[in-house]
Structure 1
């Protein structure tokens, strides 16, 4: 809990707050992305084309970020990577097409609720076993209770 310790001790507040703040705003962006892309898909009459546009726009934005902030990395290094690591792109496409297709008829809130539920379950399993090179962080009773409260909170939000 480096974040909580830093808050309690007052040390390195800006460094320890940066990552949670960025991730908070990334989370804020998910339902906005879903709503905007669902609207684009409806207007175009094709969720797949809307997803492709979103993906191309994201690719351009990532390349712009790379060109300004990551000069030490090389695109040539891409081809040396294990091919299974590129399945993340397939999962990204699946998420974009599914949220763009389903959110207009199921509701953005409902769609994002199930996305968050899936994220909670997958993150807990990945952390528990250290899958995909992630740091192993076993589910203790306290962590399990926290995850259960978050899942319960998501459920309560949907019932209101």
Structure 2
């Protein structure tokens, strides 16, 4: 599942290259996921609509999950090209962990309260340390790379990095909201469909406001069989949501989150190191590998150790 998330980011980023718009890329990805979940709802014979009573008797934030997911997915498409696969994975994970601790601390979105402990504090420090190491902030920099960064502007780089953390926080909120929606509807499949419906509608509106050229989809279609994989990003995202709902009751939320994060970290490093899915090559260094290990230990500490 984690490898699928890293793959989805790379796939959607390549689709963006062809359709020339991150909003159109994300919108099409969400649409594919929506169609997949629609078929799944029809096969399982679950109702597609919800009653007005259900809407009025539940908190308004219950419908923000799909909206947050649309922002995070679109942001990842942009971030993949601006800061690379590894940072696009590592920084949102830090945001996810920070937000999940806040959700547990204050019982946000009807989640059970789980106050901050020393173990979580130590784990958070390890995660931040791992992020700093994996970003290579203390490594000797190539003079040409330094010149390129100066030309691009350090301020813009910092902006994208901060937005990556925010995207991770939105993903954590989306998970909590969709979890509560699935509980109230007694169906994770139906909850996923509703969430993606809201996401699709949000992205259609954004594409209309930005005057996206929907005809650019034809440019992607012209790529032929060589780039067949650019169309599967949405299905990967839908499968991640469904598999999460299936695995949590079997092995627990903690193990699902940690193992998925591990797969995401490892596969994003491989994508960047080998330039998979026609992405830019950025070789792994010793500091980055150590940073990923430290970060993963921090995630384990936050999720499993209590004192």
So what's the TM-score if we normalise by structure 1?
0.79
2:205 aligns with one of 64, 78, 94: 64
CA 102–152 in structure 1, closer or farther in 2 if over 3 Å, else same: same
For structure 1, the 5+ residue unaligned runs are none
Match of 2:187 among 46, 54, 68: 46
Once the two structures are superposed, the pairs formed by residues 5-154 of structure 1 within 5 Å of their partners are 12-69=153-210, 71-72=212-213, 74=215, 76-77=217-218, 79-80=221-222, 82-103=227-248, 106-107=252-253, 110-154=255-299
Kindly indicate whether the alpha-carbon contact (under 8 Å) linking 1:44 and 1:50 is maintained by their aligned counterparts in 2: yes
Deviations 1:106-152 (A, max 9, x none): 33x55433332221011011112110011111211111111111111
Q: How many residues align?
A: 154
Structure 2 residue runs without a partner (length 5+): 1-82, 84-134, 138-145
Look up the match of 2:57. none
1:157 is matched with which residue?
A: 302
Larger Cα Rg: Structure 1 or Structure 2? Answer: 2
- The structure-2 alpha-carbon separation of the partners of 1:79 and 1:49, relative to structure 1 and needing over 3 Å to count, comes to farther
Higher relative contact order (CA 8 A, sep 6+): 2
RMSD: 2.8
Bigger drift between 68-77 and 51-60 goes to 68-77
1:81-111 Cα offsets, whole Å, 9 max, x none, are 543211111110011222344457833x554
Displacement over 6 Å in runs of 4+: none
